[in-house]
Amino acid sequence: MDRLRAAATTEPGRLRAIGAVLAALVLAFGAITTWQTTSRADAADRVLNRSQPLSNDAAAIYRSLADANTAASSGFLAGGQEPAKVRERYRRDIDRASEKLATAAANAGSDSSSATSVSELNKLLPQYTALIERARANNRQGLPLGGAYLRYANDTMQTQMLPAAEKLYKAENKRLNGDYADAKPYPWLAIAFGVAALAALGWAQRRNYRRTNRVFNTGLVAATTAAAVALLWLLAGHTFARSGLNESYEDGVKSLNVLNDARISSLKARSNENLTLVSRGAETVAVGSATKDKFDVAYQRQMARLAGGEGGGNGGGLLDEAAKLADDESGERPVETAAKNVTEWKDRHKSARASDDAGDYEGALDAVIGAKSGEAAATAPSTGESFDNVDAALDLALTHELREFRSAAQDGKGAMAGLPVGAAVLAVLGAAAAVIGIGRRLSEYR
Amino acid sequence: MGGARTMRTRPGETEQHAAATKRHATNRQAVIRRHGTTALRRWGGVVSMALACLLAAVAVAFVPALPQLRGDTGRGGDGGASGGERLTQAAPARADDCESPESSLRPSPEDGPTIEKIKQRKVKKLIVGVDQNSYRWGYRDPNKSVGELEGFDIDLAREIAEKLLGDRNAVVFRAIPTNQRIPAIQSGQVDMVVRTMTINCERIKDVAFSTAYFETGQQVLAPKTSGITGYNETLKGKKVCSAAGSTAESALKEKSFGADIRTTVPNQLDCLVRLQLGEVDAVVTDSALAAGQAAQDPTVQLKGKEPFTTEYYGVAMRKDADDLVRRVNGVLDDYRKDKDGWRHSYNKWLAADLGKSAGPPNPKYKD
């Protein structure tokens, strides 16, 4: 009891208490900074190395599946022996889809929604390819049964696989957004402790000055410096990291999302364009009072999503959005190319439809998949060619934006590098300095 | 096809099928008539109603001899030459409120408002709803010239276009799923449907039919190894597939023998896909189409000795398009007689799967 009373009432006792509080505050500041910056740096690392690549993979899975289906229907349109190019494209798509599915499966972890989608897709993919192979075998025999298998495969793709892939894409995007949300908020608690530690150090030095008339206590000054450096580092580092991450989101992820959507729309449009010819008006929907071909209506819808309102001009499509988001010339150029080719595609599609409506099915087919043989084959313009150009341009834009994303996110992550360790070291040094500084005063009482 | 042939060349039990056509007696007559085809044909088409019963009795006498007879001539019959008088007899079996749905309007070469409208089109072509999935009837051979449709129905559609517009190629083919045939006609999406479409009492309320151009009936198709023997109790507990909106679907709804008939598909051929994938155990469709399925898969066959119904295919048109119906009936009249017409097309597309035909069904008129 006496000691305690002595601690509260005598100067050495007070000094000891002050020293302890100062050391504790500085250490707490360091510990909280380390903890908060570590979790943010981890989140930033996940954005860069895990969730963004996974979201990109999910988009690639969706795209590959849709593209494989498009290739299969193109192959069917081209006849029993599909062109080598189409077959190769189909094979590559299936390869890529199964490869990315394996990655997604390994990373799905505890996220049950991703895991369900992945296992669903893993189950359906071999079923789908089996249907396509059966369709091919029957096509080669010249049997219409091949077409029936193709319809069944298309149905499986449209009603089960693509929705599962879309769910996966959404789940991965949610995870990406979650990681961004974890990486970006200011570490308020660490900042508060930093300010508190600095204030306490300042008060202790003022008290010291008043009682001893000594301006500087080396230990306390050193401690203040250490705490101030740590706080500034925290503020600056986090601000830079945040701006890097913001940039990676604004210039990277946003563009990537829009471009991925655009590419998927163009794929869907192409697939529907093919199916219009495969089904030959077999399925219709009522649009207002008119009856229209189901697949052509779907094509029009995707093209409108891609290029904006009918007739163009009034903007609002995904490509306009992508052009707005593109922040430099090398990002804008491929989007412009894509937009130009979409316009051309629309024109060619219109004339293909006109041929088909006039009963010239072969003419329409040539205009859509390209003339199969003869001199016309090399030069004949087809919507397939336009689609390929759009796809290539969007691919270029995606590669560019991905690079932008990576460099910005890398900068952001880099700005926080060393901060957790640095803050810890500074805090330990600062606490030690504060204790030494107070110890110097204490020694005067012996 | 060998399997299908043997199954269909012998006369069958009929009692179990009675429910589908509602009357035992008439159903038996239908079967007998089909078997009596070869013999009856010789009497031609001028036999009175009073003679019909006698004819049936005579036909009964032929039955025991038929297996051998049919064995020699292949499996003709369902494409069948049906004399007019036998059609008359078949009518009461179909429905009580509609005597003979096969009766159409008498031919006339006059152009009426419907044909005028077609001729005034910017693109002067006939728009015909067809199938592109029915082997030998309307289908696309993936190995042939890009996208060309061919088959028995396609030949007929081209013939009509030639007679109407003077050009075999003045046709726009629109593929139509089974259950969209009537809506497509009613909405004006197509001028006519030539797509193995059965004339029946239900349908003549919505569309007008030409005279009959083919005789067929419903039949069960299943794997050769299957325990299913036909449209009977062996279907119990089995999954049976049919095309949505088809005659087969209605027949199964009426009597399914305890089969699971929930699987319906847009096109009869989609049933074969389900069958091959093991999703269903059997398919019910027109025997003419079932034969086309069996031709694409040697491991399946037609079950039951005979189709369990008697039906006729007709060209469907708008209900108010009298002029078009009369013109098409005129075309069909010539087509039946023409050397390069019906028989030529039959031999080209159907003879291999269905056997020798006794000829097209005779037309019946209601006016």
Q: What is the pLDDT along chain A (446 residues), one digit of tens a residue?
A: 666 676 677 888 888 899 999 999 999 999 999 999 999 999 999 999 989 999 999 999 999 999 999 888 888 877 767 788 888 999 999 999 999 999 888 887 766 788 899 999 999 999 999 999 999 898 888 888 988 898 899 889 989 999 999 999 999 999 999 999 999 999 999 999 999 999 999 999 999 899 888 888 899 999 999 999 999 999 999 999 999 999 999 888 999 999 999 999 999 899 889 888 887 776 777 777 777 888 899 999 999 999 886 544 455 789 999 998 988 888 899 999 999 999 999 999 999 988 887 778 888 888 888 765 544 455 568 898 999 999 999 999 999 999 999 999 999 989 888 899 999 999 999 999 999 999 988 888 86
pTM: 0.77
Interface probe for A, chosen from B146, B150, B168, B285 (most Cβ of A below 10 Å), is B146
A2 occurs within a structural domain? no
* Window A:288-317, CB contacts with B under 8 Å: 291
B171 in contact with A at a CB cutoff of 8 Å?
yes
CB B12 within 8 A of CB B309: no
Average pLDDT taken over every residue of chain B = 78
Question: What is the interface size between A and B, counted as CB pairs within 8 Å?
Answer: 102
Residue B100 has pLDDT above 90, yes or no: no
Residue B147 has pLDDT above 70, yes or no: no
Using the beta-carbon criterion (under 8 Å), do A144 and B187 form an inter-chain contact? no
Residue B230 has pLDDT above 60, yes or no: yes
Using the beta-carbon criterion (under 8 Å), do A282 and B175 form an inter-chain contact? yes
A5 occurs within a structural domain? no
Using the beta-carbon criterion (under 8 Å), do B133 and A147 form an inter-chain contact? yes
Q: Tell me which H or E stretch contains A247.
A: helix A218-247
Compute CA B141 distance to the chain's CA centroid, rounded to the nearest angstrom.
Answer: 22
Using the beta-carbon criterion (under 8 Å), do A284 and B180 form an inter-chain contact? yes
Using the beta-carbon criterion (under 8 Å), do B142 and A280 form an inter-chain contact? no
CB A248 within 8 A of CB A47: yes
Question: CB-side exposure of B99: number of CA atoms within 13 Å?
Answer: 7
A4 occurs within a structural domain? no
Handedness of CA A158, A163, A168, A174 (dihedral sign): positive
Label residue B19 by pLDDT band (50, 70, 90): very low
CB A278 within 8 A of CB A150: yes
A431 occurs within a structural domain? yes
| Span B152-159, average pLDDT | 95
Question: CB-side exposure of A8: number of CA atoms within 13 Å?
Answer: 4
A145 occurs within a structural domain? yes
Using the beta-carbon criterion (under 8 Å), do A281 and B140 form an inter-chain contact? no
Buried b (16+ CB within 10 A) or exposed e, A32-51: bbbbbbbebbbbbbbbbeeb
B310 in contact with A at a CB cutoff of 8 Å?
no
Of A15, A60, A137, A29, nearest in space to A422 by CA: A29
B302 in contact with A at a CB cutoff of 8 Å?
no
ipTM: 0.74
Tell me the C-alpha distance between A397 and B47, whole Å. 80
The identity of residue A345, as a single letter, is W
Using the beta-carbon criterion (under 8 Å), do A145 and B147 form an inter-chain contact? no
Nearest CA in chain A to B187: A291
Distance set, CA A166 to CA A58, A59, A95, A162, A268 (Å): 8, 8, 19, 6, 13
Strand ordering across the sheet containing B192-193: B171-175, B126-130, B192-193, B316-318, B207-209
The identity of residue B187, as a single letter, is S
CA distance B133 to chain A (A): 5
Could you list the residue range(s) of the whole structural domain that residue A188 is in?
Answer: 11-445
The identity of residue A133, as a single letter, is E
A3 occurs within a structural domain? no
B278 in contact with A at a CB cutoff of 8 Å?
no
Of A413, A397, A277, A243, nearest in space to A327 by CA: A397
Using the beta-carbon criterion (under 8 Å), do B142 and A277 form an inter-chain contact? no
Q: Tell me which H or E stretch contains B118.
A: helix B113-119
CA distance A282 to chain B (A): 4
CA distance A351 to chain B (A): 15
Using the beta-carbon criterion (under 8 Å), do A145 and B269 form an inter-chain contact? yes
Tell me the C-alpha distance between B79 and B355, whole Å. 9
A1 occurs within a structural domain? no
Phi, psi for A387 (deg, rounded to 5):
-60, -45
What DSSP string describes A285-341?
EEETTEEEEHHHHHHHHHHHHHH-STTSSS--SHHHHHHHH--SHHHHHHHHHHHHH
Pick from A80, A279, A291: CB nearest B189: A291
Tell me the C-alpha distance between A334 and A323, whole Å. 9
For residue B355, give both structure tokens: 């056997």
Pick from A80, A139, A359: CB nearest B172: A359
A330 occurs within a structural domain? yes
Using the beta-carbon criterion (under 8 Å), do A152 and B273 form an inter-chain contact? yes
Interface probe for A, chosen from B140, B153, B167, B263 (most Cβ of A below 10 Å), is B140
Interface probe for B, chosen from A284, A365, A373, A382 (most Cβ of B below 10 Å), is A284
To which residue do tokens 């108010």 refer?
A: B320
Q: How many CB atoms lie within 10 A of CB A358?
A: 15
Overall number of domains in chain A: 1
Question: CB-side exposure of A57: number of CA atoms within 13 Å?
Answer: 25
CA distance B270 to chain A (A): 6
Q: Which residues of B touch A288 (CB under 8 A)?
A: none
Tell me the C-alpha distance between B160 and B158, whole Å. 5
